[in-house]
RNA sequence: GCCCCCUUCGUCUAGUGGCCCAGGACAUCGGAUUCUCAGUCCGAAGACAGGGGUUCGACUCCCCUAGGGGGUACCA
């Protein structure tokens, strides 16, 4: 049975790089009919683990990455919180001690540090002297009489090589002599990460450890622990980390300020912030930004777009295939084709995937995606009036590809605003209504046609305007832009005929009247 | 310092000795289309880190250098 795991710390947010690692684990397990386990790495136990974990679980749920065992999914390998598994780790430390593979060490931290620094100045690799190693009761008593406290250290081999086959990197060989006698248990009895991780992976029957490459150099000591405990070590696959936009540095949520200097990154951030503001979302810079999954959920991305983008960040099927349905991902994903070098996070390309998938979303579903944004921004009541569905469908149809993320609907709220309330863009009014000499005259004349017609459908309006243009012997550009500004307040927007039709005859006439008045005011000023 | 890993267009990548004077995608820049914007279509520009080998032949194999990254914690 293939079993993989992801072990997030309850930090309060789900990081892009973490999701990518989790995705690989999940895909690998699922395609083999295996299981995916979520284990909570809360050994630094802060008080409100639940609260800090919630956004992470929500993120996974949103993305459709489900887990067989973990929080809210009890299995027979629990508990799934490392803070509740201390007893297991202590037993393991004792077992290692018993076998002579670990020892009590009475060194003070600064004493080890001094040795380390000495090695560095002499430009040789550091090997602990084991001066404060205690294997007999006599030693222990002597050190304790000095007021020293013991930690448990691994007694690493000092010759030979550790060899393992990494599913991404291939054969890896490391000399044991370069490994340290790492501490696995503190004086207070609490245990450290490496021990915990090995014990849990074994207890949870993890078959494949797929994790970020910063753990590559931790692997030998984990193999040592596993073997010492008599475990069969899992298979390892070290995937390169996700790097910053246009750089090879590891992506980190701490360096947000730096990423914001990247123009494209800043643009996407700004776009999201604008949407968040309109829906009244409280945002904090360190938890709402394009490095955090929640950002994309809030702004209205499609989870599958993110997943597809992340899939291709460090993995590819061939030289052509870009789009993968969930089924295709499951079918084609493999560890062998994961790249060995880090790939940088490019939010622009993520957007390209989003736009592609957004174009495929059926109208009805788009309506459902967009509605909550209008409600949260106060343009549509909750529950919505019954005519909102068809109306929204018409708007979205007219919008075409202009709505790239669900929150973009908030750029087109002029359909929901009362005429008296409608904001008019000053520049647009000047350019399209005030400056062109004929604009107002033409608009007034075309208003007559509009009020006279009784067919307010886009094709009919199209015919109406073209007839007008012919009669007046003008070019269409001389009226159509003025018309758009008059009814929407803006210089850019959807097709004019669709816009008019959605607004309806009465509203159009009102808005034209208001625009004419406004233009007159502006001209007089 | 020491150990380990990585290095093809700006970015994601294809490429496992001849199919490659290097292919695709995003971005960029032109052009076409439409009432603006978005989109769509067509086109252009753009890379094998450097140096040595090996070979009839190297992006592909070996060595060195450089650059980048990770680890080196009583962090995870």
Catalytic residue among A99, A155, A253, A278: A253
pLDDT score recorded for residue A245:
80
In the block, residue with structure tokens 């990247």: A262
CA of A131 to C1' of B60 (A): 51
Residue A43 has pLDDT above 80, yes or no: no
Residue with CA nearest B26 C1'?
A: A349
Q: What is the mean pLDDT of residues A3-28?
A: 94
- For the ranges A158-167, A369-378, A403-412, the lowest mean pLDDT is seen at A158-167
**Separation in Å, CA A369 to CA A197, A222, A372, A430:** 40, 46, 7, 36
- 3-state SS record for A411-438: HCHHHCCCHHHCCCCHHHHHHHHHCCCC
pLDDT score recorded for residue A157:
93
Which residue did the predictor score with more confidence, A281 or A47? A281
Q: How confident is the model at residue A507 (pLDDT cuts 50, 70, 90)?
A: very high
Q: Which of A276, A267, A266 is nearest to A297 (CA)?
A: A276
Instruction: State pLDDT tens for residues A264-309.
Output: 889 999 999 999 999 999 888 888 999 999 999 999 999 999 999 9
pLDDT score recorded for residue A286:
80
pLDDT score recorded for residue A262:
84
- For the ranges A238-247, A500-509, A512-521, the lowest mean pLDDT is seen at A238-247
Q: What is the DSSP letter of A58?
A: H
Q: What is the mean pLDDT of residues A347-375?
A: 96
CB of A312 under 7 A from strand B? yes
Residue A21 has pLDDT above 90, yes or no: yes
Q: Which nucleotide is nearest to A113 (CA to C1')?
A: B73
How far is it, in rounded angstroms, from Cα A446 to Cα A440?
10
CB contact set of A399 (below 8 Å; sequence gap of 6+): A409, A412, A494
CB of A459 under 7 A from strand B? no
Asked if residues A92 and A193 have their Cβ atoms less than 8 Å apart, the reply is: no
Instruction: State pLDDT tens for residues A164-186.
Output: 999 999 888 888 988 999 999 99
Cis peptide before A79 (omega within 30 of 0): yes
Cis peptide before A222 (omega within 30 of 0): no
Which residue did the predictor score with more confidence, A11 or A296? A296
pLDDT score recorded for residue A48:
76
Instruction: State pLDDT tens for residues A510-523.
Output: 999 999 999 988 88
Q: How confident is the model at residue A263 (pLDDT cuts 50, 70, 90)?
A: confident
Q: b or e along A228-242 (b: 16 or more beta carbons within 10 Å of the residue's beta carbon)?
A: bbebebbbbbbbbbb
- For the ranges A26-30, A344-348, A511-515, the lowest mean pLDDT is seen at A344-348
Residue A465 has pLDDT above 70, yes or no: yes
Instruction: State pLDDT tens for residues A60-96.
Output: 999 999 999 999 999 999 899 999 999 999 999 999 9
Q: What percent of chain A has pLDDT over 90?
A: 83
Start-to-end CA span in chain A (Å):
79
Q: How confident is the model at residue A481 (pLDDT cuts 50, 70, 90)?
A: very high
pLDDT score recorded for residue A187:
94
CB of A8 under 7 A from strand B? no
CA of A485 to C1' of B27 (A): 32
Q: Which nucleotide is nearest to A494 (CA to C1')?
A: B37
In the block, residue with structure tokens 């039709």: A501
CB of A400 under 7 A from strand B? yes
- Return the half-sphere exposure (C-beta side, CA atoms, 13 A cut-off) of residue A274: 13
Residue A437 has pLDDT above 90, yes or no: no
pLDDT score recorded for residue A45:
60
Burial of A400 (0-12, 13-18, 19+ CB in 10 A): exposed
Instruction: State pLDDT tens for residues A49-69.
Output: 888 999 999 999 999 999 999
Active site residue A255: no
- For the ranges A211-220, A250-259, A288-297, the lowest mean pLDDT is seen at A250-259
Instruction: State pLDDT tens for residues A224-238.
Output: 999 999 999 999 999
SS3 category, A95: helix
Q: Which of A224, A199, A181 is nearest to A86 (CA)?
A: A199
Whether pTM exceeds 0.80: yes
How far is it, in rounded angstroms, from Cα A389 to Cα A418?
19
pLDDT score recorded for residue A523:
82
Instruction: State pLDDT tens for residues A105-156.
Output: 999 999 999 999 999 888 888 999 999 999 899 999 999 999 999 999 999 9
- Return the half-sphere exposure (C-beta side, CA atoms, 13 A cut-off) of residue A227: 14
Rounded to the nearest integer, the mean pLDDT of chain A is 93
Instruction: State pLDDT tens for residues A390-433.
Output: 999 999 999 999 999 999 999 999 999 999 999 999 999 999 99
CA of A366 to C1' of B9 (A): 37
Residue A525 has pLDDT above 80, yes or no: no
pLDDT score recorded for residue A54:
94
Q: What is the mean pLDDT of residues A212-226?
A: 93
How far is it, in rounded angstroms, from Cα A491 to Cα A482?
8
Residue A15 has pLDDT above 80, yes or no: yes
How far is it, in rounded angstroms, from Cα A53 to Cα A152?
31
How far is it, in rounded angstroms, from Cα A457 to Cα A327?
42
Q: How confident is the model at residue A347 (pLDDT cuts 50, 70, 90)?
A: very high
Q: What is the mean pLDDT of residues A252-265?
A: 83
- Bases along strand B below 7 A from a protein CB: 1-8, 10-15, 23-27, 35-40, 68-76
How far is it, in rounded angstroms, from Cα A388 to Cα A504?
14
pLDDT score recorded for residue A200:
96
- Rg (C-alpha) for chain A, rounded Å, is 32
Q: What is the DSSP letter of A250?
A: B
């Amino acid at each position: 049975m293939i079993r993989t795991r992801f072990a997030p710390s309850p930090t309060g947010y789900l990081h892009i790089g973490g999701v990518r690692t989790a995705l690989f684990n999940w895909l690998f397990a699922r395609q083999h009919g295996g299981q995916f386990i979520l284990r909570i790495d809360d050994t630094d136990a802060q008080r409100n683990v639940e609260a800090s974990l919630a956004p992470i679980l929500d993120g996974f749920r949103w993305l459709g990455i489900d887990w067989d065992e973990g929080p809210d999914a009890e299995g027979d390998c629990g508990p799934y919180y490392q803070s509740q598994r201390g007893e297991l780790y202590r037993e393991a430390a004792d077992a290692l001690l018993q076998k002579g593979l670990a020892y009590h060490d009475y060194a003070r931290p600064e004493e080890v540090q001094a040795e380390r620094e000495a090695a560095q100045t002499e430009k040789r690799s550091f090997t602990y002297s084991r001066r404060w190693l205690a294997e007999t009761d006599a030693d222990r008593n002597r050190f304790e009489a000095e007021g020293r406290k013991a930690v448990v250290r691994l007694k690493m081999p000092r010759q030979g090589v550790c060899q393992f086959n990494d599913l991404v990197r291939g054969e890896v060989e490391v000399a044991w002599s370069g490994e340290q006698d790492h501490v696995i248990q503190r004086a207070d009895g609490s245990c450290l990460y490496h021990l915990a991780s090995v014990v849990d992976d074994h207890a949870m029957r993890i078959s494949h450890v797929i994790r970020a490459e910063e753990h590559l150099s931790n692997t030998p000591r984990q193999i040592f622990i596993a073997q010492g405990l008599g475990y069969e070590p899992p298979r390892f696959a070290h995937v390169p980390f996700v790097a910053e936009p246009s750089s090879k540095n590891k992506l980190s949520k701490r360096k947000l300020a730096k990423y914001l200097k990247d123009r494209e990154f800043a643009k996407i951030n700004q776009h999201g912030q604008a949407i968040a503001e309109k829906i009244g979302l409280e945002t904090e810079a360190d938890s709402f930004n394009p490095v955090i999954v929640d950002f994309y959920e809030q702004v209205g991305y499609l989870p599958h777009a993110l997943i597809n983008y992340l899939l291709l960040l460090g993995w590819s099927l061939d030289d052509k295939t870009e789009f993968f349905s969930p089924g295709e991902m499951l079918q084609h994903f493999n560890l062998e084709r994961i790249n060995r070098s880090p790939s940088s996070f490019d939010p622009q390309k993520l957007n390209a995937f989003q736009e592609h998938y957004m174009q495929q979303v059926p109208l009805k579903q788009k309506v459902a995606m967009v509605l909550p944004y209008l409600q949260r921004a106060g343009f549509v009541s909750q529950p919505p009036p019954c005519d909102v569905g068809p109306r929204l469908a018409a708007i979205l149809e007219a919008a075409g590809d202009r709505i790239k993320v669900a929150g973009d609907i908030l750029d087109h709220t002029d359909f929901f605003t009362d005429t008296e309330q409608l904001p008019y863009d000053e520049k647009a009014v000047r350019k399209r209504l005030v400056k062109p000499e004929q604009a107002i005259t033409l608009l007034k004349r075309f208003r007559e046609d509009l009020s006279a017609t009784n067919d307010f459908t886009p094709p009919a309006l199209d015919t109406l305007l073209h007839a007008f243009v012919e009669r007046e012997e003008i070019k269409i550009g001389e009226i159509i832009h003025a018309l758009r500004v008059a009814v929407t307040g803006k210089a850019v927007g959807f097709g004019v005929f669709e816009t008019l039709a959605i607004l309806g005859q009465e509203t159009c006439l009102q808005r034209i009247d208001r625009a004419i008045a406004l233009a007159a005011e502006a001209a007089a000023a």
